[in-house]
């Protein structure tokens, strides 16, 4: 919105991320089909769900066991598709290497550590995440810099190697476009995914409805594609942008994107010291979901606990806190499908099961926490957002920019 030149330079780099999202999900579907075919061959249908370790780091819809004992009618077509899509395993590995050395991320398994940046937090029990991630300091940024240099410089041998790897992935994905479409649109595969009781369409990094457009030799990411893409990073990411227009045109802004998992929150505290504002992203669509790192903890409740700790932090007394009640579009989709909030949030009671009532309820809860836990009285700023809706998000961020600017003027006694 405010730094279009920098954004346009980065756009090409996201092609590999989007391709990885697509390929990874196709491979997970193939795994689900393979597991089901093997189970049918052995005539075994386990009745208990997979363990946390088995399910972590992958799309839940593809890992929960099938409860129904009615056999799905797989055919020779499905076996051929499994073989034809086999090269995507290598493509996934190549894209991961291209994006940077895989980083090791440890998940906290302690229920009581929503805010481990607090001084008196207990020791954290951890386990390793199985989802691919890159280090924010030398993985993804290094790959991004390599792409930028391709735009402005003559290819060096190293750059040609990188470009060749990129072309190989693009060529293979494009050559398998029809097979990927056939797999995704197959009614037996659809039924298999339905039995897993989780909509794969709601998963981050979902591009299976865009195969015909993305699996092309000349594919270039759109802004909407990039907003929807997923790349897990380990560590704090720093961005410096000089706004090209708006009330703060010409000024450099520093942004720090901190990791959201419980174990990553230990690194937050040093960034609190000189923060002008904190944008607290609270996905309210996850009222029926559990933390990936600890399946005993509800994600919405974890957001409440974390918000309580942020509001209580004395170091943030003069810092502007802004809440984004995020993923309102996914909340709408869930409620439309008939998911009832009160089944997962007992305190919701018999309120209307619609988006307006739900967002008002969640907003009030965050507001009460701010009021009761802040060391000093502070205004409560909240916005309802869907980050993939770039137009409305741009308007929201413009309001946030103006709010931060007004706060600066008040501190300088200019207002």
For the annotated binding site, the residues are: 202-203, 233, 326-329
Residue 320 and residue 408 in contact, taking contact as beta carbons nearer than 8 Å: no
Number of Cα atoms under 13 Å in the Cβ half of residue 35 = 17
Query: CB-based contacts of 4: which residues, under 8 Å, 6+ apart?
Result: 244
Q: What is the pTM of this model?
A: 0.73
Cα 316 from Cα 279, distance rounded (Å): 13
Residue 356's DSSP bridge partners are: none
CATH class name, domain 235-411: alpha beta
Cα 73 from Cα 37, distance rounded (Å): 9
Report the chain's C-alpha Rg in angstroms. Answer: 23
Buried b / exposed e over 190-214, threshold 16 CB at 10 Å, is eebbebbebbbebbebbbbebbeeb
For the annotated binding site for GTP, the residues are: 202-203, 326-329
pLDDT of residue 111: 42
Maximum C-alpha span of the chain:
76
Mean pLDDT by 10 residues, the chain (415 residues): 62 88 95 90 57 49 52 92 96 86 50 53 51 59 52 48 65 97 96 84 89 94 88 76 75 78 67 83 93 86 92 89 92 93 95 97 97 93 83 77 76 58
Cα 288 from Cα 98, distance rounded (Å): 35
The conformational region for residue 67 under phi > 0 = left, psi -120 to 50 = alpha, else beta, is: alpha
Structure tokens, 200: 């794969």
pLDDT of residue 201: 86
- DSSP labels for 55-71? HTTS-GGGTSPP---SP
For the annotated binding site for Mg(2+), the residues are: 233
Domain ranges of the chain: 4-101+139-228, 235-411
Residue 33 and residue 192 in contact, taking contact as beta carbons nearer than 8 Å: yes
Give φ, ψ of 141 to 5 degrees.
-65, -35
């Amino acid at each position: 919105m405010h730094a279009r030149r920098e954004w346009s330079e980065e756009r090409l780099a996201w092609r590999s991320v989007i391709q990885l999202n697509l390929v990874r999900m196709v491979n997970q579907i193939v795994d689900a089909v393979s597991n089901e075919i093997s189970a049918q061959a052995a005539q075994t249908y386990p009745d208990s769900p997979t363990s946390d370790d088995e399910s972590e780091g992958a799309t839940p819809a593809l890992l929960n066991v099938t409860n129904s004992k009615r056999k799905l009618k797989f055919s020779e077509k499905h076996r051929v598709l499994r073989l034809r899509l086999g090269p995507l395993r290598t493509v996934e590995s190549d894209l991961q290497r291209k994006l940077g050395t895989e980083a090791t991320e440890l998940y906290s398994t302690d229920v009581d550590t929503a805010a481990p940046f607090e001084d008196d937090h207990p020791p954290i029990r951890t386990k390793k995440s199985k989802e691919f991630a890159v280090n924010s300091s030398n993985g993804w940024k290094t790959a991004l810099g390599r792409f930028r240099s391709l735009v402005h410089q003559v290819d060096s041998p190293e750059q040609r190697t990188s470009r060749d790897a990129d072309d190989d992935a693009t060529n293979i994905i494009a050559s398998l476009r029809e097979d990927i479409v056939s797999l995704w649109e197959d009614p037996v595969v659809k039924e298999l995914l339905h039995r897993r009781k989780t909509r794969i369409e709601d998963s981050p990094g979902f591009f299976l409805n865009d195969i015909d457009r993305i699996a092309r030799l000349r594919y270039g990411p759109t802004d909407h594609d990039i907003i929807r893409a997923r790349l897990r990073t380990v560590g704090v990411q720093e961005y410096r942008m000089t706004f090209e227009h708006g009330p703060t045109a010409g000024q450099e802004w520093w942004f720090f994107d901190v990791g959201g998992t419980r174990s990553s929150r230990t690194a937050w505290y040093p960034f609190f010291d000189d923060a002008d504002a904190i944008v607290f992203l609270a996905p309210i669509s996850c009222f029926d979901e559990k933390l990936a790192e600890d399946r005993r903890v509800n994600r919405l409740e974890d957001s409440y606990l974390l918000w309580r700790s942020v509001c209580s932090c004395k170091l943030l007394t003069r810092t502007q806190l802004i809440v984004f009640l995020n993923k309102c579009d996914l909340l709408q989709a869930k409620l439309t499908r008939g998911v009832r909030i009160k089944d997962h949030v007992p305190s919701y009671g018999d309120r209307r099961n619609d988006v307006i009532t739900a967002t008002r309820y969640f907003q009030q809860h965050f507001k009460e926490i701010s009021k009761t836990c802040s060391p000093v009285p502070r205004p409560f700023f909240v916005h309802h957002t869907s980050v993939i809706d770039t137009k409305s998000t741009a308007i929201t961020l413009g309001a946030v920019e103006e709010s931060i600017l007004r706060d600066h003027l008040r501190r300088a006694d200019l207002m």
